[in-house]
């Protein structure tokens, strides 16, 4: 096995290589003066099972992935497994208005046509996997987030809504604590109360977990109210830390800790999903 990673996932590629004791290929990536990408794989991939790791966010990283796939296919390889740590455009998985594309499908078609297998990590909706024209599987970063939280000993794991409950349940199962999800209750025309559906926040160490944190609006509002309801500590964690519009600083203003994984490398990255990728690759 040999590992190739793009510029969006270089550190994750290196971590994964160590997990599976495989060579991390030397890849040259640069930009021409007009902004177009140039990639070159400096190692011989002939006869190898290749694992290509690259997130498709922002847009320039998607183009880089397509070029790397093409470069890999120029060698006489055995198999190409494309790992997409963060699958850009995954939230546009249906047509909302006439004339729109189904962006997740468009991305999946392009990724899948050059892959023998595709692995995603906490994709926004697993139904997107059906868009790939090749074998595709989603794995979760939640077990590694749970292991990180073991030392912090949260007493309740909370999902931001019912749809994310399975993630909270997974983390709580590893930590062996309670879990719940947030519920919005309208007080009047201007005020909404955000509370755990079943658990009281008073005196609890609460970790709010989700797949993606973008603006952080829901978690920020929830953290403020949970604090008012008597929460002792509030942690926020996600697999994919987009943190748009200054969300990191806003979250740190209301949370005791903000954590994300290396699917998108940023200042809050304290967890690696390399072990979860390795488990899946070695299993297949």
* Cα–Cα nearest to 210, from 124, 278, 152: 124
Q: Which of 123, 139, 155 marks a domain boundary? A: 139
With respect to residue 280, please indicate whether it lies within any of the assigned structural domains.
Answer: no
* Cα–Cα nearest to 119, from 80, 161, 167, 148: 80
3-state secondary structure (DSSP) of residue 54: coil
DSSP letter assigned to residue 162: G
Cα 178 from chain centroid (whole Å): 24
With respect to residue 258, please indicate whether it lies within any of the assigned structural domains.
Answer: yes
126 plus 152 within the same structural domain? no
With respect to residue 95, please indicate whether it lies within any of the assigned structural domains.
Answer: yes
Q: How many domains does the chain have?
A: 2
Whether 267 contacts 232, CB under 8 Å: no
DSSP bridge partners of 139: 121
132 plus 172 within the same structural domain? no
Q: Which of 139, 169, 193 marks a domain boundary? A: 139
With respect to residue 45, please indicate whether it lies within any of the assigned structural domains.
Answer: yes
Q: Which of 139, 170, 193 marks a domain boundary? A: 139
For residue 58, whether the previous peptide bond is cis, meaning omega lies within 30 degrees of 0, is yes
With respect to residue 131, please indicate whether it lies within any of the assigned structural domains.
Answer: yes
Catalytic residue among 18, 109, 184, 185: 184
40 plus 128 within the same structural domain? yes
160 plus 135 within the same structural domain? no
149 plus 163 within the same structural domain? yes
CATH number reported for the structural domain that contains residue 213 in this entry:
3.40.50.2020
pTM: 0.94
Task: Please report, in tens digits, the pLDDT of each residue of the chain (284 residues total).
Answer: 999 999 999 999 999 999 999 999 999 999 999 999 999 999 999 999 999 999 999 999 999 999 999 999 999 999 999 999 999 999 888 888 999 999 999 999 999 999 999 999 999 899 999 999 999 999 999 999 999 999 999 999 999 989 889 999 999 999 999 999 998 766 555 555 677 888 899 999 999 999 999 999 989 999 998 999 999 999 999 999 999 999 999 999 999 999 999 999 999 999 999 999 999 999 87
135 plus 230 within the same structural domain? no
103 plus 33 within the same structural domain? yes
DSSP letter assigned to residue 48: P
With respect to residue 101, please indicate whether it lies within any of the assigned structural domains.
Answer: yes
- What's the farthest any 2 CA atoms get from each other in the chain? 66
Whether 238 contacts 257, CB under 8 Å: no
With respect to residue 281, please indicate whether it lies within any of the assigned structural domains.
Answer: no
Q: Is 30 a catalytic residue?
A: no
Residue-range definition of the domain harbouring residue 9: 2-139
124 plus 154 within the same structural domain? no
With respect to residue 61, please indicate whether it lies within any of the assigned structural domains.
Answer: yes
DSSP letter assigned to residue 203: T
135 plus 176 within the same structural domain? no
């Amino acid at each position: 096995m040999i590992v190739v990673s793009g510029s969006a996932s270089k550190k994750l590629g290196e971590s994964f290589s160590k997990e599976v004791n495989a060579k991390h290929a030397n890849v040259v990536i640069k930009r021409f003066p007009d902004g177009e990408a140039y990639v070159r794989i400096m190692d011989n991939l002939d006869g190898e099972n290749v694992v290509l790791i690259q997130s498709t966010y922002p847009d320039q990283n998607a183009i880089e992935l397509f070029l790397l796939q093409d470069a890999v296919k120029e060698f006489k390889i055995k198999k190409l497994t494309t790992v997409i740590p963060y699958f850009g455009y995954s939230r546009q998985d249906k047509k909302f208005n006439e004339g729109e594309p189904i962006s997740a499908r468009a991305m999946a078609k392009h990724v899948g046509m050059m892959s023998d297998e595709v692995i995603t990590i906490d994709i926004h909706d697993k139904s997107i996997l059906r868009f790939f024209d090749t074998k595709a599987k989603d794995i979760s970063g939640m077990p590694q987030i749970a292991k990180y939280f073991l030392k912090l000993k949260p007493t309740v794991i909370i999902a931001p809504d019912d749809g994310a409950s399975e993630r909270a349940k997974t983390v709580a199962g590893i930590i062996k604590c309670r879990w719940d999800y947030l519920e919005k209750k309208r007080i009047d025309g201007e005020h909404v109360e955000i509370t755990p559906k079943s658990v009281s926040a008073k005196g609890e160490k609460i970790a709010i977990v989700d797949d993606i944190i973008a603006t952080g609006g829901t978690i920020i509002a929830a953290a403020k109210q949970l604090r008012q309801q008597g929460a002792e500590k509030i942690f926020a964690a996600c697999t994919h830390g987009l943190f748009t519009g200054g969300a990191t600083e806003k979250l740190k203003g209301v949370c005791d800790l903000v954590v994300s994984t290396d699917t998108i490398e940023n200042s809050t990255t304290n967890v690696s999903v390399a072990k979860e990728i390795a488990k899946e690759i070695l299993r297949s």
